[in-house]
Amino acid sequence: MLSSDKVLTPAAEALTAQAPVTRSPTARVLIVDDEPAACKLLALLLSETDFECKTALSGAEALRLLEKDNRDAIVCDLNMPGMTGMELLAEVRRRSPQVAFLVATGLDDVRAGILAMKSGADDYLVKPLHADLVIASLHRALQKKRLEQEVEGYRLHLEEMVAERTKQMEAALKLVERSYEDTLEALGAAIDLRDAATEGHSRRVCRFALEMAKAMGLSEAQHKTIAMGAYPHDIGKLALPDGILLKPGPLTAEERVFMQQHAQTGYDLVKQIPFLADAAELIRTHHERYDGSGYLRGLKAEQIPIGARIFEVADTLDAITSDRPYRRALPFEDAFRVIQTESGRLYDPQVSTAFFSLPKETWPTIARMQHQVTSLPSWLRSGGAGSLGSS
Protein backbone atom coordinates (compact mmCIF):
# COMPACT_ATOMS: atom_id res chain seq x y z
CA MET A 1 0.00 0.00 0.00
CA LEU A 2 1.20 3.48 -0.87
CA SER A 3 1.18 6.38 1.59
CA SER A 4 2.15 10.04 1.44
CA ASP A 5 3.60 10.12 4.96
CA LYS A 6 6.59 12.47 5.19
CA VAL A 7 8.89 9.86 6.72
CA LEU A 8 12.45 9.65 5.41
CA THR A 9 13.68 6.06 5.16
CA PRO A 10 17.40 5.26 4.77
CA ALA A 11 16.81 4.57 1.08
CA ALA A 12 14.97 7.85 0.73
CA GLU A 13 17.80 9.73 2.38
CA ALA A 14 20.21 8.15 -0.05
CA LEU A 15 17.95 9.22 -2.88
CA THR A 16 17.82 12.83 -1.78
CA ALA A 17 21.59 12.86 -1.43
CA GLN A 18 21.98 12.15 -5.16
CA ALA A 19 22.75 14.92 -7.65
CA PRO A 20 19.81 17.12 -8.68
CA VAL A 21 18.06 16.00 -11.82
CA THR A 22 16.61 17.89 -14.74
CA ARG A 23 12.88 18.29 -14.33
CA SER A 24 10.82 16.45 -16.92
CA PRO A 25 8.06 18.05 -18.91
CA THR A 26 4.55 16.91 -18.05
CA ALA A 27 4.70 13.15 -17.94
CA ARG A 28 1.90 10.59 -17.93
CA VAL A 29 2.06 8.38 -14.86
CA LEU A 30 0.15 5.24 -13.97
CA ILE A 31 -0.14 4.44 -10.26
CA VAL A 32 -0.85 0.79 -9.51
CA ASP A 33 -1.89 -0.24 -6.00
CA ASP A 34 -4.62 -2.46 -4.64
CA GLU A 35 -5.46 0.22 -2.03
CA PRO A 36 -7.79 2.76 -3.71
CA ALA A 37 -7.10 5.48 -1.13
CA ALA A 38 -3.32 5.21 -1.54
CA CYS A 39 -3.70 5.35 -5.31
CA LYS A 40 -5.88 8.41 -5.19
CA LEU A 41 -3.72 10.28 -2.71
CA LEU A 42 -0.49 9.77 -4.64
CA ALA A 43 -2.23 10.70 -7.90
CA LEU A 44 -3.47 13.88 -6.27
CA LEU A 45 -0.04 14.82 -4.96
CA LEU A 46 1.71 14.10 -8.25
CA SER A 47 -0.93 15.94 -10.27
CA GLU A 48 -0.12 19.10 -8.33
CA THR A 49 3.33 19.07 -9.93
CA ASP A 50 4.36 17.99 -13.42
CA PHE A 51 2.43 14.78 -13.79
CA GLU A 52 -0.83 13.68 -15.35
CA CYS A 53 -1.91 10.60 -13.40
CA LYS A 54 -4.15 7.58 -13.87
CA THR A 55 -4.67 4.77 -11.38
CA ALA A 56 -5.21 1.03 -11.52
CA LEU A 57 -6.12 -1.24 -8.62
CA SER A 58 -4.51 -4.40 -10.02
CA GLY A 59 -1.88 -5.55 -12.48
CA ALA A 60 -4.55 -6.80 -14.87
CA GLU A 61 -6.33 -3.44 -14.84
CA ALA A 62 -3.01 -1.68 -15.41
CA LEU A 63 -2.31 -3.81 -18.53
CA ARG A 64 -5.81 -3.13 -19.89
CA LEU A 65 -5.27 0.58 -19.41
CA LEU A 66 -1.82 0.47 -21.03
CA GLU A 67 -3.29 -1.17 -24.13
CA LYS A 68 -5.44 1.91 -24.73
CA ASP A 69 -3.31 4.66 -23.24
CA ASN A 70 0.47 5.12 -23.38
CA ARG A 71 2.15 6.05 -20.10
CA ASP A 72 5.64 7.46 -19.57
CA ALA A 73 6.05 6.02 -16.09
CA ILE A 74 4.51 3.51 -13.72
CA VAL A 75 4.66 3.57 -9.93
CA CYS A 76 3.66 0.12 -8.74
CA ASP A 77 3.21 -1.54 -5.38
CA LEU A 78 5.13 -4.82 -5.36
CA ASN A 79 2.80 -6.61 -3.00
CA MET A 80 -0.60 -6.96 -4.63
CA PRO A 81 -3.08 -9.84 -4.82
CA GLY A 82 -3.43 -11.52 -8.21
CA MET A 83 -0.75 -10.24 -10.52
CA THR A 84 2.16 -9.10 -8.36
CA GLY A 85 4.23 -6.00 -9.02
CA MET A 86 7.08 -8.22 -10.27
CA GLU A 87 4.79 -9.96 -12.72
CA LEU A 88 3.46 -6.63 -13.98
CA LEU A 89 7.03 -5.38 -14.31
CA ALA A 90 7.97 -8.39 -16.47
CA GLU A 91 4.94 -7.88 -18.70
CA VAL A 92 5.50 -4.14 -19.08
CA ARG A 93 9.17 -4.66 -19.91
CA ARG A 94 8.17 -7.20 -22.58
CA ARG A 95 5.65 -4.80 -24.13
CA SER A 96 7.14 -1.34 -23.53
CA PRO A 97 10.81 -1.28 -22.48
CA GLN A 98 10.85 2.51 -22.78
CA VAL A 99 8.38 3.06 -19.90
CA ALA A 100 9.95 4.15 -16.58
CA PHE A 101 8.97 1.67 -13.87
CA LEU A 102 9.26 2.40 -10.14
CA VAL A 103 8.38 -0.19 -7.54
CA ALA A 104 7.22 0.50 -3.99
CA THR A 105 8.14 -1.93 -1.28
CA GLY A 106 7.96 -2.15 2.50
CA LEU A 107 10.90 -1.26 4.70
CA ASP A 108 11.17 -4.92 5.66
CA ASP A 109 11.27 -6.01 2.03
CA VAL A 110 14.11 -3.95 0.55
CA ARG A 111 15.54 -7.09 -1.06
CA ALA A 112 12.41 -7.34 -3.19
CA GLY A 113 13.05 -3.79 -4.39
CA ILE A 114 16.63 -4.65 -5.33
CA LEU A 115 15.47 -7.79 -7.10
CA ALA A 116 12.93 -5.67 -9.02
CA MET A 117 15.71 -3.35 -10.17
CA LYS A 118 17.72 -6.35 -11.35
CA SER A 119 14.63 -7.39 -13.29
CA GLY A 120 14.31 -4.08 -15.08
CA ALA A 121 12.77 -1.60 -12.63
CA ASP A 122 14.33 1.85 -12.81
CA ASP A 123 14.17 2.55 -9.08
CA TYR A 124 12.54 1.36 -5.90
CA LEU A 125 10.80 3.36 -3.22
CA VAL A 126 10.44 2.31 0.38
CA LYS A 127 7.06 2.76 1.97
CA PRO A 128 5.71 4.83 3.55
CA LEU A 129 6.41 7.07 0.56
CA HIS A 130 7.62 10.65 0.68
CA ALA A 131 5.90 12.57 -2.13
CA ASP A 132 8.99 14.69 -2.92
CA LEU A 133 11.08 11.55 -3.18
CA VAL A 134 8.61 9.91 -5.51
CA ILE A 135 8.67 13.03 -7.69
CA ALA A 136 12.48 13.19 -7.69
CA SER A 137 12.72 9.50 -8.46
CA LEU A 138 10.20 9.85 -11.29
CA HIS A 139 12.15 12.74 -12.84
CA ARG A 140 15.35 10.75 -12.55
CA ALA A 141 13.85 7.63 -14.13
CA LEU A 142 12.22 9.64 -16.93
CA GLN A 143 15.48 11.41 -17.66
CA LYS A 144 17.28 8.05 -17.80
CA LYS A 145 14.68 6.71 -20.22
CA ARG A 146 14.99 9.79 -22.43
CA LEU A 147 18.74 9.32 -22.55
CA GLU A 148 18.33 5.65 -23.40
CA GLN A 149 15.99 6.59 -26.23
CA GLU A 150 18.41 9.21 -27.49
CA VAL A 151 21.21 6.63 -27.48
CA GLU A 152 18.96 4.15 -29.27
CA GLY A 153 17.99 6.82 -31.80
CA TYR A 154 21.65 7.64 -32.33
CA ARG A 155 22.46 3.95 -32.76
CA LEU A 156 19.69 3.56 -35.35
CA HIS A 157 20.89 6.68 -37.12
CA LEU A 158 24.40 5.26 -37.17
CA GLU A 159 23.12 2.00 -38.61
CA GLU A 160 21.28 3.94 -41.32
CA MET A 161 24.43 5.90 -42.04
CA VAL A 162 26.51 2.71 -42.23
CA ALA A 163 23.92 1.11 -44.52
CA GLU A 164 23.90 4.20 -46.75
CA ARG A 165 27.70 4.33 -46.90
CA THR A 166 27.82 0.58 -47.62
CA LYS A 167 25.45 1.12 -50.54
CA GLN A 168 27.64 3.93 -51.86
CA MET A 169 30.74 1.75 -51.48
CA GLU A 170 29.09 -1.13 -53.32
CA ALA A 171 28.09 1.22 -56.15
CA ALA A 172 31.65 2.56 -56.31
CA LEU A 173 33.06 -0.98 -56.34
CA LYS A 174 30.71 -1.91 -59.16
CA LEU A 175 31.99 1.06 -61.12
CA VAL A 176 35.57 -0.02 -60.47
CA GLU A 177 34.76 -3.57 -61.48
CA ARG A 178 33.07 -2.30 -64.61
CA SER A 179 36.13 -0.27 -65.49
CA TYR A 180 38.26 -3.41 -65.03
CA GLU A 181 35.98 -5.24 -67.41
CA ASP A 182 36.14 -2.42 -69.91
CA THR A 183 39.92 -2.62 -69.70
CA LEU A 184 39.75 -6.35 -70.28
CA GLU A 185 37.49 -5.82 -73.26
CA ALA A 186 39.94 -3.32 -74.71
CA LEU A 187 42.77 -5.82 -74.26
CA GLY A 188 40.75 -8.56 -75.95
CA ALA A 189 39.84 -6.25 -78.83
CA ALA A 190 43.51 -5.32 -79.24
CA ILE A 191 44.46 -9.00 -79.48
CA ASP A 192 41.71 -9.65 -82.01
CA LEU A 193 42.82 -6.68 -84.11
CA ARG A 194 46.32 -8.04 -84.16
CA ASP A 195 45.30 -11.52 -85.24
CA ALA A 196 42.12 -11.19 -87.30
CA ALA A 197 42.30 -14.87 -88.27
CA THR A 198 41.23 -15.84 -84.76
CA GLU A 199 38.68 -13.11 -84.19
CA GLY A 200 36.31 -13.98 -81.36
CA HIS A 201 38.57 -16.83 -80.23
CA SER A 202 39.32 -15.25 -76.84
CA ARG A 203 35.68 -14.72 -76.06
CA ARG A 204 34.65 -18.24 -77.10
CA VAL A 205 37.37 -20.08 -75.18
CA CYS A 206 36.49 -17.99 -72.17
CA ARG A 207 32.85 -19.08 -72.38
CA PHE A 208 33.74 -22.72 -73.04
CA ALA A 209 36.14 -22.73 -70.09
CA LEU A 210 33.60 -21.20 -67.74
CA GLU A 211 30.99 -23.78 -68.72
CA MET A 212 33.42 -26.58 -67.84
CA ALA A 213 34.42 -24.83 -64.60
CA LYS A 214 30.77 -24.68 -63.64
CA ALA A 215 30.27 -28.37 -64.45
CA MET A 216 33.29 -29.19 -62.25
CA GLY A 217 31.76 -27.30 -59.32
CA LEU A 218 34.55 -24.73 -59.05
CA SER A 219 33.96 -21.67 -56.88
CA GLU A 220 32.77 -18.27 -58.07
CA ALA A 221 36.25 -16.91 -57.30
CA GLN A 222 37.79 -19.59 -59.54
CA HIS A 223 35.29 -18.77 -62.28
CA LYS A 224 36.36 -15.17 -62.14
CA THR A 225 40.07 -16.01 -62.25
CA ILE A 226 39.49 -18.30 -65.22
CA ALA A 227 37.49 -15.62 -67.02
CA MET A 228 40.09 -12.97 -66.30
CA GLY A 229 42.87 -15.27 -67.57
CA ALA A 230 41.14 -16.92 -70.52
CA TYR A 231 39.94 -13.72 -72.13
CA PRO A 232 43.38 -12.10 -72.54
CA HIS A 233 45.34 -15.40 -72.62
CA ASP A 234 47.15 -14.42 -75.82
CA ILE A 235 47.92 -10.86 -74.78
CA GLY A 236 51.63 -11.66 -75.11
CA LYS A 237 51.09 -11.95 -78.88
CA LEU A 238 50.83 -8.17 -78.99
CA ALA A 239 54.61 -8.15 -78.66
CA LEU A 240 55.18 -10.54 -81.59
CA PRO A 241 56.37 -9.08 -84.90
CA ASP A 242 53.90 -9.38 -87.80
CA GLY A 243 56.44 -11.49 -89.64
CA ILE A 244 55.94 -14.24 -87.10
CA LEU A 245 52.35 -13.72 -85.93
CA LEU A 246 50.90 -13.39 -89.45
CA LYS A 247 53.28 -15.72 -91.29
CA PRO A 248 51.16 -17.83 -93.64
CA GLY A 249 53.52 -20.79 -93.72
CA PRO A 250 55.08 -22.93 -90.99
CA LEU A 251 57.43 -21.24 -88.51
CA THR A 252 61.11 -22.01 -88.36
CA ALA A 253 62.47 -23.51 -85.17
CA GLU A 254 63.79 -20.14 -84.12
CA GLU A 255 60.49 -18.42 -84.89
CA ARG A 256 58.63 -21.09 -82.94
CA VAL A 257 60.72 -20.40 -79.85
CA PHE A 258 60.02 -16.71 -80.30
CA MET A 259 56.29 -17.41 -80.72
CA GLN A 260 56.22 -19.55 -77.60
CA GLN A 261 57.54 -16.67 -75.58
CA HIS A 262 54.12 -14.98 -75.86
CA ALA A 263 52.98 -16.95 -72.78
CA GLN A 264 55.79 -15.51 -70.67
CA THR A 265 55.41 -12.02 -72.18
CA GLY A 266 51.69 -12.08 -71.39
CA TYR A 267 52.41 -13.22 -67.83
CA ASP A 268 54.99 -10.47 -67.32
CA LEU A 269 52.56 -7.87 -68.64
CA VAL A 270 49.56 -8.97 -66.64
CA LYS A 271 51.06 -9.88 -63.27
CA GLN A 272 51.70 -6.20 -62.64
CA ILE A 273 48.03 -5.34 -63.02
CA PRO A 274 46.44 -5.92 -59.59
CA PHE A 275 43.01 -7.01 -60.77
CA LEU A 276 44.55 -9.51 -63.22
CA ALA A 277 47.34 -10.76 -60.95
CA ASP A 278 45.51 -14.01 -60.06
CA ALA A 279 44.79 -14.65 -63.71
CA ALA A 280 48.43 -14.19 -64.75
CA GLU A 281 49.30 -17.80 -63.93
CA LEU A 282 46.70 -19.09 -66.40
CA ILE A 283 48.23 -16.86 -69.08
CA ARG A 284 51.73 -18.24 -68.41
CA THR A 285 50.57 -21.87 -68.43
CA HIS A 286 47.95 -21.82 -71.17
CA HIS A 287 50.12 -23.91 -73.52
CA GLU A 288 51.21 -26.52 -70.99
CA ARG A 289 49.95 -30.06 -71.65
CA TYR A 290 48.71 -32.61 -69.15
CA ASP A 291 51.50 -35.08 -70.06
CA GLY A 292 54.25 -32.46 -69.84
CA SER A 293 54.68 -32.03 -73.60
CA GLY A 294 53.60 -28.38 -73.64
CA TYR A 295 55.50 -25.16 -73.09
CA LEU A 296 56.91 -22.98 -71.46
CA ARG A 297 58.04 -25.15 -68.60
CA GLY A 298 56.78 -28.62 -69.49
CA LEU A 299 54.54 -28.78 -66.41
CA LYS A 300 52.56 -31.98 -65.85
CA ALA A 301 49.11 -32.83 -64.49
CA GLU A 302 48.36 -31.02 -61.19
CA GLN A 303 51.44 -28.84 -61.62
CA ILE A 304 49.33 -26.99 -64.17
CA PRO A 305 46.69 -24.71 -62.59
CA ILE A 306 43.17 -26.07 -62.95
CA GLY A 307 42.15 -23.00 -64.97
CA ALA A 308 44.84 -23.74 -67.55
CA ARG A 309 43.91 -27.43 -67.70
CA ILE A 310 40.34 -26.41 -68.44
CA PHE A 311 41.55 -23.82 -70.91
CA GLU A 312 43.42 -26.49 -72.91
CA VAL A 313 40.18 -28.31 -73.71
CA ALA A 314 38.39 -25.06 -74.51
CA ASP A 315 41.22 -23.94 -76.77
CA THR A 316 41.24 -27.22 -78.70
CA LEU A 317 37.47 -27.12 -79.08
CA ASP A 318 37.58 -23.63 -80.56
CA ALA A 319 40.64 -24.24 -82.73
CA ILE A 320 38.98 -27.19 -84.44
CA THR A 321 35.52 -25.66 -84.83
CA SER A 322 36.54 -22.19 -86.08
CA ASP A 323 37.50 -21.05 -89.56
CA ARG A 324 41.24 -20.77 -90.07
CA PRO A 325 43.13 -19.11 -92.93
CA TYR A 326 44.14 -22.53 -94.22
CA ARG A 327 40.82 -24.40 -93.72
CA ARG A 328 37.15 -24.02 -92.93
CA ALA A 329 35.75 -24.83 -89.49
CA LEU A 330 35.41 -28.56 -88.79
CA PRO A 331 32.35 -30.16 -87.19
CA PHE A 332 32.08 -30.26 -83.39
CA GLU A 333 32.02 -34.06 -83.60
CA ASP A 334 35.64 -33.90 -84.79
CA ALA A 335 36.60 -31.86 -81.75
CA PHE A 336 34.74 -34.26 -79.43
CA ARG A 337 36.72 -37.17 -80.89
CA VAL A 338 40.05 -35.41 -80.35
CA ILE A 339 39.22 -34.47 -76.77
CA GLN A 340 38.03 -38.02 -76.05
CA THR A 341 41.12 -39.59 -77.63
CA GLU A 342 43.60 -37.27 -75.95
CA SER A 343 41.99 -37.33 -72.52
CA GLY A 344 44.61 -38.42 -70.01
CA ARG A 345 47.43 -37.48 -72.40
CA LEU A 346 46.98 -33.85 -73.50
CA TYR A 347 43.94 -33.14 -71.37
CA ASP A 348 43.10 -33.64 -67.72
CA PRO A 349 40.63 -36.57 -67.55
CA GLN A 350 38.64 -34.72 -64.86
CA VAL A 351 38.16 -31.83 -67.26
CA SER A 352 37.18 -34.02 -70.20
CA THR A 353 34.74 -35.89 -67.95
CA ALA A 354 33.13 -32.55 -67.03
CA PHE A 355 33.16 -31.59 -70.70
CA PHE A 356 31.31 -34.73 -71.78
CA SER A 357 28.91 -34.54 -68.84
CA LEU A 358 27.20 -31.61 -70.54
CA PRO A 359 24.81 -31.97 -73.49
CA LYS A 360 26.72 -31.94 -76.78
CA GLU A 361 24.56 -29.08 -78.05
CA THR A 362 26.03 -26.85 -75.29
CA TRP A 363 29.20 -26.13 -77.24
CA PRO A 364 27.88 -25.15 -80.68
CA THR A 365 25.20 -23.09 -78.92
CA ILE A 366 27.84 -21.11 -77.01
CA ALA A 367 29.93 -20.70 -80.16
CA ARG A 368 26.93 -19.38 -82.14
CA MET A 369 26.04 -16.92 -79.38
CA GLN A 370 29.59 -15.62 -79.21
CA HIS A 371 29.75 -15.10 -82.97
CA GLN A 372 26.76 -12.77 -82.57
CA VAL A 373 28.10 -10.83 -79.58
CA THR A 374 29.73 -7.48 -80.28
CA SER A 375 30.48 -6.31 -76.76
CA LEU A 376 31.76 -7.82 -73.55
CA PRO A 377 29.29 -10.47 -72.37
CA SER A 378 27.15 -9.90 -69.30
CA TRP A 379 28.52 -12.96 -67.45
CA LEU A 380 31.83 -11.18 -67.16
CA ARG A 381 30.13 -8.04 -65.91
CA SER A 382 28.37 -10.06 -63.21
CA GLY A 383 31.71 -11.59 -62.22
CA GLY A 384 30.82 -15.24 -62.68
CA ALA A 385 29.50 -17.94 -64.91
CA GLY A 386 26.08 -18.05 -63.32
CA SER A 387 24.25 -16.87 -66.42
CA LEU A 388 26.18 -18.89 -68.95
CA GLY A 389 23.37 -21.12 -69.93
CA SER A 390 20.81 -18.40 -70.41
CA SER A 391 22.62 -15.34 -71.76
Binding site for Fe ion (CB under 5 A): 234
For the bound state, the minimum distance from the C-beta of residue 185 to Fe ion, rounded and expressed in Å, comes to 19
- The nearer residue to Fe ion, 59 or 229, going by C-beta atoms, is 229
For the bound state, the minimum distance from the C-beta of residue 155 to Fe ion, rounded and expressed in Å, comes to 57
For the bound state, the minimum distance from the C-beta of residue 245 to Fe ion, rounded and expressed in Å, comes to 11
Burial class, 111, CB count within 10 angstroms (exposed 0-12 / middle 13-18 / buried 19+): exposed
- The nearer residue to Fe ion, 234 or 288, going by C-beta atoms, is 234
Distances (CA, A) of 132 to 18, 22, 144, 278, 333: 13, 14, 18, 74, 97
Comparing every residue's Cβ against Fe ion, the nearest one is 234
For the bound state, the minimum distance from the C-beta of residue 236 to Fe ion, rounded and expressed in Å, comes to 7
- The nearer residue to Fe ion, 92 or 269, going by C-beta atoms, is 269
What is the chain's alpha carbon radius of gyration, rounded to the nearest angstrom?
A: 40
For the bound state, the minimum distance from the C-beta of residue 286 to Fe ion, rounded and expressed in Å, comes to 6
Long-range contacts of 264-270, Cβ-Cβ distance < 8 Å, separation of 24 or more: 264/236, 264/296, 265/235, 265/236, 265/239, 266/232, 266/233, 266/234, 266/235, 266/236, 266/237, 267/236, 268/236, 269/235, 269/236, 270/232, 270/235
- The nearer residue to Fe ion, 33 or 234, going by C-beta atoms, is 234
Residue 117's contacts (CB-CB under 8 Å, 6 or more residues apart) are 103, 123, 124
- The nearer residue to Fe ion, 128 or 294, going by C-beta atoms, is 294
324 strand-pairing partners: 327
| Strand bridging mode 73-77 / 51-56 | unpaired
- The nearer residue to Fe ion, 61 or 195, going by C-beta atoms, is 195
For the bound state, the minimum distance from the C-beta of residue 259 to Fe ion, rounded and expressed in Å, comes to 9
